[in-house]
């Protein structure tokens, strides 16, 4: 699924804001910047957060500022909302918000060992928005995401892949190639797939903060709906 054109324009206009919101993650080793494993419902996502002392199996949300919940209270970010739904259904998982603002797929890959530490059962991969905003090659995005999936599956971790689309300023060919990365990987590795993380939110002034790219609390609830629809069946049987 692709952005409607209005949403693509919104995403392009939000590029500067998005890139200014966090560290400039180039494809270099950033393991020292990886966030500690903390419950999404009780602790912030930054790297300085204290390590979790719980012993529950984990669901890790590996992403960028959309996952970190930039501009929102910790309890309003979609990983925290997923934690609440798990609690309500008495599914005994700890959700780890491993979102880092400004992160690319290369940045996510570089801190994967941090993300997979402990008893991780499910990994939600929600990366690529910053790759698109920077015009990084879709082939590079695909390679990075493939390595993340392979390493997670190699540890017996179920993967949920959340799709993203590119803004229009890089041209139609780039948009198409970028879009194809996610369904192709989902099919190749047989992973659960959220076609578009921002479905129902992108392009809506009501559901986005003034930067036009990061969801409001109401928008984050829709992101949680999008992820939960795919995640719940896995969490319920894991």
Return the active site residues: 65, 211, 214
CA distance 209 to 22: 16
Q: What's the Cα-to-Cα distance from 204 to each of 11, 88, 153, 210, 218, rounded to whole Å?
A: 11, 29, 36, 11, 11
Half-sphere exposure of 94 (CA within 13 A, CB side): 20
Residue whose C-alpha is closest to residue 123's, from 102, 145, 138, 101: 145
Angle at 212 between CA 211 and CA 216, to 5 degrees: 90
Angle at 43 between CA 40 and CA 46, to 5 degrees: 95
Q: What's the Cα-to-Cα distance from 130 to each of 104, 134, 236, rounded to whole Å?
A: 5, 6, 32
């Amino acid at each position: 699924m692709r952005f409607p054109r209005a949403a693509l324009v919104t995403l392009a206009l939000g590029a500067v804001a998005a890139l200014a919101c966090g560290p400039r993650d180039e494809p270099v080793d950033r393991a020292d910047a990886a966030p500690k494993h903390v419950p999404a419902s009780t602790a912030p996502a930054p790297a300085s957060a204290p390590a979790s002392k719980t012993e529950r199996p984990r669901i890790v949300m590996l992403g960028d500022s959309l996952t970190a919940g930039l501009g929102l209270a910790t309890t309003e970010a979609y990983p925290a909302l997923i934690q609440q739904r798990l609690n309500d259904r008495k599914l005994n998982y700890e959700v780890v918000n491993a979102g880092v603002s400004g992160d690319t797929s290369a940045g996510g890959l570089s801190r994967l060992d941090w993300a997979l530490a402990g008893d991780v059962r499910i990994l939600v991969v929600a990366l690529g928005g910053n790759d698109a905003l920077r015009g990084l090659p879709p082939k590079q995005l695909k390679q990075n995401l493939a390595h993340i999936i392979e390493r997670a599956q190699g540890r017996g971790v179920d993967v949920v892949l959340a799709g993203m689309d590119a803004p229009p300023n890089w041209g139609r060919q780039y948009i198409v190639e970028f879009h194809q990365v996610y369904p192709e990987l989902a099919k190749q590795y047989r992973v659960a797939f959220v076609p578009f993380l921002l479905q129902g939110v992108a392009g809506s002034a009501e559901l986005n903060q003034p930067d036009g790219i990061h969801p409001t609390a109401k928008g984050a609830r829709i992101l949680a709906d999008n992820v939960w629809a795919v995640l719940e069946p896995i969490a319920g049987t894991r």
